[in-house]
Amino acid sequence: MTSTAVLERDEETGVARAPRRLGTPLVTVLLVGAVALACALSVVVGARTIPLAAIWDSSHPLHNISQARVERTLLGLAVGAALALAGAVLQGLTRNPLADPGILGINAGASFAMVVALSVFGVSELRDFVWVAFLGAAVAAVLVHVVASIGRDGATPMKLAIAGAALTAAATSWTSGVLLVDKQTMETFRYWQVGTIGGRGLDVLLVGAPFLAVGALLALSGARLLNTLALGDDLARGLGRRTAVDRVVLGVAVVLLAGTATALAGPVAFVGLVVPHAVRGLVGSDHSRLLPLSALGGAVLVVLADTLGRVVLPPAEVQVGVMAAVVGVPVFLFLIRHGRSGSGAL
Amino acid sequence: MTSATAPATRLSASRLTLGYADRPIVTDLDLQVPNGKVTVIVGANACGKSTLLRGLARLLKPQSGAVLLDGEVIHRQPTKHVARILGLLPQNPIAPEGVTVVDLVGRGRHPHHGAFQRWTSVDDEAVAEALELTDTLGLADRVVDELSGGQRQRVWIAMALAQGTDLLLLDEPTTYLDVAHQVEMLDLLADLNARRGTTIVMVLHDLNLSARYADHLVALRDGAVVAEGTPRQVVTEDVVRTVFGLDNRVIDDPVSHTPLVVPVSRHLRQAQPPTQELP
């Protein structure tokens, strides 16, 4: 490649070669606005339309319903932000723009733990579900990391992905095995599995809040770590990072965020994959911008998807896990088709 | 940059053995990197030259022996402290997707920041200077993926310069470049050495360019130093035959008056005496 070749390319595509990015301040303002709008819609829209005033007016006949919707919205914000943040960290950590928390076996581990808890230990309280699912997610992530660490190069992104895929396959088949012989567990599990935040409120969120807070803190302070890891392990170490330690810290953040979100709402796919990918296209790959904006984007997507799920098939509600994918897939396909370097990412 | 009392070497290897498990790649090697000079490590494929460079850059833990930086074992020093003295450009650095030149070069400032320290004007100056020295100021807002190979390599050098280290280690900085860009890259490094006094250690493939740009040449074979010294001392027909297993003649480079290796190929030996030229 010579510089003349580049000039030719420039002429062909004109200004398209220059980075076409919205400014970070603009994206931030838009996302904050979108969060506010999504929250308002989430409270107002549903089987019954509720005026916003009902939230503050305790004498309003719809006050109680509005409180439930507020709690549901808060849960949606937390789950969405956590999933997208986890996805952004994981994509940086594995240097794989298509990674999502499922790659570490987190979803499969949580599902398997849930099934075992339901079937063998007869757990039935929603609060206990949270603990069980979180435990499953954490054990899965640790197992994947340990398996990937075997061998002389340690836990490389490639080995992590393979170990994650293997564990997912194993856990999924065990889960299916238990469900096939236990019809009653199947009934309960089916609702949890698609991912939902309906009918869950503050009590559930409060169980997960400390985990989410620590996870978010670790993730957001890891932006500098991710920015050096992105250059390759050798260069990161040359810049004075201890990459093995950084990987563990960031991995803990992912497990706390994605594990807790999965525990709270069931496995909600696509949010952790699509949101960071889209935000990266808007503001670039600097994690100090990418991480907080991904969290905002994830919150918007989950709250909007949940709201949309209440109105698409009345009187039934479509769970957020399904709606997130319904909304997420077209966005993802659009990004691949029109992304500045979408094909390069694949 | 070195004062009169400074020792002649800041980076050295002492009885260094590097490798994996029971397979040593570099064995019992002693090396002293002269301060403020350009040291080039040459050798055949798989002779351990990249392994040695990784060991010097503390990326590989020695099986025995040690690498010393400023008289202390490099592995016992805080890695961030080392990163302010010694910079490294690996053979295949990864440019994050969509990263701009100025953003990438700025990441070289990492060792100068604490966990909660913000970017300062000192960082801005270091980045601007690095861009200027590598003639990449005009590319500052371009996306790295879209640059040519030669431009991209200059940007990586700029990143290493922004790190502001007295020593710079480079693993084959001219790989994938055509001959004009190879010369341009090595000229740039020679300039840095002359202007800033940066000590440079690099692994190079091209023996003739190595002889031209090196102050100190180290020839490796099977993980051991075969010859070491000025290019004129090292690049002899005997050494080249030992190191590369190549029949050769060494003549005077008419441009730089350093040794120039001319390979003798089997193909030509068989063809002798020269037959009538084809029409």
Q: What was the ipTM of the complex prediction?
A: 0.86
What mean pLDDT is predicted for residues A177-202? 77
pLDDT per residue as tens digits for the range B239-257: 999 999 999 999 999 999 9
Chain B nearest-CA residue for A281 = B98
Interface test with B, best of A1, A91, A221 (most B CBs within 10 A): A1
Place of tokens 């470049």: B177
Q: Identify how many contiguous H helices and E strands chain B contains and give both numbers.
A: 10, 12
Contact B111 A240 (CB under 8 A): yes
pLDDT of residue B207: 93
Residues A139 and A50: their CA atoms lie apart, in Å, by 42
pLDDT of residue A345: 36
B150 close contact with A: CB closer than 8 A:
yes
pLDDT band at A38 (very low <50, low <70, confident <90, very high): very high
Chain A, window 93-112: residues with a beta carbon less than 8 angstroms from a chain B beta carbon: 95, 97
pLDDT per residue as tens digits for the range B209-225: 999 999 999 999 999 99
Q: Which residues of A70-97 are buried (b: 16+ CB within 10 A; e: fewer)?
A: bbbbbbbbbbbbbbbbbbbbbbbbbbbb
Contact B83 A224 (CB under 8 A): no
- Helix (H) / strand (E) containing A300: helix A287-311
Backbone angles phi, psi at B265, to 5 degrees: -95, 150
**Higher per-residue confidence, B216 vs A121:** B216
B120 close contact with A: CB closer than 8 A:
no
Could you tell me which of A272, A327, A310, A255 has the C-alpha nearest to residue A81? A272
A60 close contact with B: CB closer than 8 A:
no
pLDDT band at B2 (very low <50, low <70, confident <90, very high): very low
B142 close contact with A: CB closer than 8 A:
yes
Give the total residue count for chain A.
Answer: 346
Residues B9 and B4: their CA atoms lie apart, in Å, by 13
What is the average pLDDT score of chain A? 81
pLDDT band at A114 (very low <50, low <70, confident <90, very high): confident
Contact A195, A320 (CB under 8 A): yes
pLDDT of residue A248: 86
**Higher per-residue confidence, A331 vs A79:** A79
Determine what percent of chain B is predicted with pLDDT higher than 70: 93
Q: Judge whether A339 lies within some domain.
A: no
Q: Judge whether A10 lies within some domain.
A: no
**Residue type, position A131, single letter:** W
Contact A238 B83 (CB under 8 A): yes
Chain A nearest-CA residue for B101 = A19
Counted across chains A and B, CB pairs separated by less than 8 A come out at 106
Q: Identify how many contiguous H helices and E strands chain A contains and give both numbers.
A: 16, 0
Q: Judge whether A142 lies within some domain.
A: yes
Residues B43, B46, B47: CA angle, nearest 5 degrees? 45
Report the number of distinct structural domains present in chain A.
Answer: 1
pLDDT of residue A319: 82
- The CA distances from residue A179 to A267, B16, B93, in Å, are 17, 58, 47
- Determine the 3-state secondary structure of B205 from DSSP: coil
Question: Taking the domains of chain B in order of start, what are their residue ranges?
Answer: 1-85+165-236, 97-163
- Answer yes or no: is pLDDT of A342 > 50: no
- Assign domain B1-85+165-236 to its CATH architecture: 3-Layer(aba) Sandwich (3.40)
Q: How far apart are the first and last CA of chain A?
A: 23
Domain that holds residue A310: 84-322
pLDDT of residue A229: 92
Residues A232 and A229: their CA atoms lie apart, in Å, by 6
B4 close contact with A: CB closer than 8 A:
no
- Answer yes or no: is pLDDT of B84 > 70: yes
Could you tell me which of A309, A341, A344 has the C-alpha nearest to residue A20? A341
- Answer yes or no: is pLDDT of A19 > 60: no
Alpha carbon A54 to its chain's center: 31
Residues of B in contact with A280 (CB under 8 A): 97-98
Contact A263, A75 (CB under 8 A): no
Q: Judge whether A19 lies within some domain.
A: no
pLDDT per residue as tens digits for the range B24-82: 899 999 999 999 999 999 999 889 999 999 999 999 999 999 999 999 999 999 999 99
A15 close contact with B: CB closer than 8 A:
no
Cβ-proximal residues to A284 (8 Å cutoff; 6+ apart), any chain:
A19, A21, A290, B98, B99, B100, B103
pLDDT of residue B6: 56
pLDDT per residue as tens digits for the range A242-293: 988 898 899 889 989 998 898 888 888 888 988 998 888 888 888 999 999 9
- The CA distances from residue A5 to A8, A18, A20, A277, in Å, are 5, 16, 21, 30
Residues of A in contact with B81 (CB under 8 A): 240
The Cα of B265 is separated from the nearest Cα of chain A by a number of Å equal to 30
Q: Judge whether A344 lies within some domain.
A: no
What mean pLDDT is predicted for residues B220-242? 94
Residues of A in contact with B87 (CB under 8 A): 238
What is the radius of gyration, based on Cα positions, of chain A?
21
* Helical ranges in B27-120 per DSSP H: 49-56, 79-83, 101-106
What mean pLDDT is predicted for residues A106-111? 86
pLDDT band at B270 (very low <50, low <70, confident <90, very high): low
The HSE-up count of residue B64 (CA atoms within 13 Å, CB side) is 7
Chain A nearest-CA residue for B78 = A240
pLDDT of residue B90: 93
pLDDT of residue B272: 57
Residues A124 and A184: their CA atoms lie apart, in Å, by 12
Backbone angles phi, psi at A97, to 5 degrees: -65, -5
Could you tell me which of B40, B54, B90, B45 has the C-alpha nearest to residue B219? B40
Place of tokens 């990674």: A99
pLDDT of residue B228: 94
- CATH code at A223? 1.10.3470.10
What mean pLDDT is predicted for residues A129-153? 84
- Answer yes or no: is pLDDT of A62 > 90: no
